[in-house]
Amino acid sequence: MLIRIGRALRARRADQLEAPNLNMTVSGKKRLRQPRLAEIVASSLRARILSGALGDGDLLPKQDELLTEFGVSPPCIREAFRILETEGLITVIRGNVGGAVIHVPKPSTAAYMLGLVLQARKVSLIDLVDAMRLLEPACAAQAARRTDRATTVLPKLRANIDASLAAVDDPSTFIGLARAFHTELVSGCGNETMSLVVGALEKLWSAQVDELALNKSVHGTFSDRSVRLSLAQEHERIYRAIAEGDPLTAERAIREHYSGGGERRHGFDTDITVIADSLRP
């Protein structure tokens, strides 16, 4: 059952009207203000979205229902909607058949927002790769520790390696599959926080590769079949270490994979700035 907070909101509003000077000190300086009513409403609706009580693509209750529930004015509800829309949690559709469509946060959204921050700070692609070089070995070690790895991460890695070998004569397809190996490894590491954080880096890097490396003119050394085979073999070593439940070897294998330049063999310039647009939702 939804908790009615209209009475508390009205009491807070009455207190604010009766004591307008509560936000002022003797010297006239402002104290930290209490949350606005719209923020309280937005917080309640946000909690419902994030808890799963409201699903992706669902509509928030109509404005009249929210007015009755919270006991606030229409401008307050509109401001609460604006807050949630700014956060990307809803899209307000105006008109007679309008409403507020819910968007449950997704990993791709996190990757896009991270990309915006990196682009604003003019972070280079090589800096992004260096971060993955430092963090992905921990994901590989974690995957090797999974007791259920035989039915979770390993089948996906095996399928990826097999598909990569089958596409070894197609540089563009191979490049995409090579990146997907890392995405599958991170997403299947078994730690949700690592999967989300490192996965955001992986998605961002893969998007850069999709934009810059799939053109034949910038295949770089991936145009060499022997390089593609070597990369697939490195992935096989990582796979076997995880399959054997050896976190130290899995971590070392992926460090060697990166230090060998496996992810720097593209023909494009990795000193350029990260571009977030390729992940735009």
Chosen domain end from 83, 102, 121: 102
Answer whether 8's CB lies under 8 Å from 70's CB. no
Q: What does the alpha-carbon distance between residue 4 and residue 8 come to, in Å, rounded to a whole number?
A: 9
Residue 160 lies in a domain: yes
Judgement on whether residues 259 and 142 belong to the same structural domain of the protein: yes
Q: What per-residue confidence (pLDDT) applies to 29?
A: 47
Q: Which of 43-52, 198-207, 214-223 has the highest mean pLDDT?
A: 43-52
Residue 261 lies in a domain: yes
Q: How many folded domains does the chain comprise?
A: 2
For the chain, report the end-to-end CA distance as a whole number of angstroms: 33
Residue 83 lies in a domain: yes
Q: What per-residue confidence (pLDDT) applies to 27?
A: 47
Chosen domain end from 102, 133, 167: 102
Which of 201, 212, 202 lies closest to 271, judged by CA? 212
Q: What does the alpha-carbon distance between residue 152 and residue 185 come to, in Å, rounded to a whole number?
A: 10
Judgement on whether residues 256 and 127 belong to the same structural domain of the protein: yes
Judgement on whether residues 98 and 135 belong to the same structural domain of the protein: no
CATH number at residue 135: 1.20.120.530
Taking residues 143-171, what's their average pLDDT? 97
Tell me the chain's radius of gyration from C-alpha atoms.
Answer: 25
Judgement on whether residues 92 and 172 belong to the same structural domain of the protein: no
Concatenated DSSP letters of the chain: -PPP-HHHHHHHHHHHHH-TTTTB-TTSPBPPPPPPHHHHHHHHHHHHHHHTSS-TT-BPPPHHHHHHHH---HHHHHHHHHHHHHTTSEEEE-STT-EEEE----HHHHHHHHHHHHHHTT-BHHHHHHHHHHHHHHHHHHHHH-TTTTTTHHHHHHHHHHHHHHTTT-HHHHHHHHHHHHHHHHHTSS-HHHHHHHHHHHHHHHHHHHHHTSSGGG-GGGGSHHHHHHHHHHHHHHHHHHHTT-HHHHHHHHHHHHHTTTTS-SSS-TTSBP--GGG--
pLDDT tens-place string over residues 65-78: 999 999 999 999 99
**Does residue 28 surpass a pLDDT of 60?**
no
Residue 40 lies in a domain: yes
Which of 187, 186, 169, 167 lies closest to 177, judged by CA? 167
Give 213 or 28, the one with higher predicted confidence.
Answer: 213
Lowest model confidence (mean pLDDT) among 34-43, 204-213, 214-223, 228-237: 214-223
Judgement on whether residues 174 and 203 belong to the same structural domain of the protein: yes
Q: What is the mean pLDDT of the chain?
A: 84
**Does residue 23 surpass a pLDDT of 60?**
no
Q: Kindly state the tokens that stand for 150.
A: 């035989």
Taking residues 219-245, what's their average pLDDT? 89
CATH number at residue 80: 1.10.10.10
Chosen domain end from 70, 102, 134: 102
Q: What per-residue confidence (pLDDT) applies to 22?
A: 38
**Does residue 2 surpass a pLDDT of 60?**
no
Give 1 or 168, the one with higher predicted confidence.
Answer: 168
Q: What does the alpha-carbon distance between residue 53 and residue 56 come to, in Å, rounded to a whole number?
A: 10
Give 273 or 94, the one with higher predicted confidence.
Answer: 273
Q: What does the alpha-carbon distance between residue 195 and residue 7 come to, in Å, rounded to a whole number?
A: 42
Residue 112 lies in a domain: yes
Residue 178 lies in a domain: yes
Q: What per-residue confidence (pLDDT) applies to 267?
A: 59
**Does residue 10 surpass a pLDDT of 70?**
no
Q: What per-residue confidence (pLDDT) applies to 15?
A: 42
Answer whether 220's CB lies under 8 Å from 167's CB. no
Residue 32 lies in a domain: yes
Taking residues 123-135, what's their average pLDDT? 93
Judgement on whether residues 145 and 238 belong to the same structural domain of the protein: yes
Q: What does the alpha-carbon distance between residue 187 and residue 196 come to, in Å, rounded to a whole number?
A: 8
Q: What per-residue confidence (pLDDT) applies to 265?
A: 53
User: Residues of the chain with pLDDT > 70: what percent?
Assistant: 81
What's the predicted TM-score (pTM) here?
0.74
Judgement on whether residues 132 and 222 belong to the same structural domain of the protein: yes
Judgement on whether residues 70 and 152 belong to the same structural domain of the protein: no
Judgement on whether residues 81 and 115 belong to the same structural domain of the protein: no
Q: What per-residue confidence (pLDDT) applies to 91?
A: 94
Taking residues 226-254, what's their average pLDDT? 95
Residues contacting 101, CB < 8 A, separation 6+ = 57, 58, 59, 90, 91, 92, 93
Lowest model confidence (mean pLDDT) among 97-111, 112-126, 143-157: 97-111
Judgement on whether residues 129 and 154 belong to the same structural domain of the protein: yes
Judgement on whether residues 54 and 119 belong to the same structural domain of the protein: no
Judgement on whether residues 160 and 239 belong to the same structural domain of the protein: yes
**Does residue 260 surpass a pLDDT of 70?**
no
Taking residues 96-100, what's their average pLDDT? 80
Q: Kindly state the tokens that stand for 133.
A: 């070089």
Residue 1 lies in a domain: no
* Residues spanned by the domain of 245: 107-279
Give 1 or 275, the one with higher predicted confidence.
Answer: 275
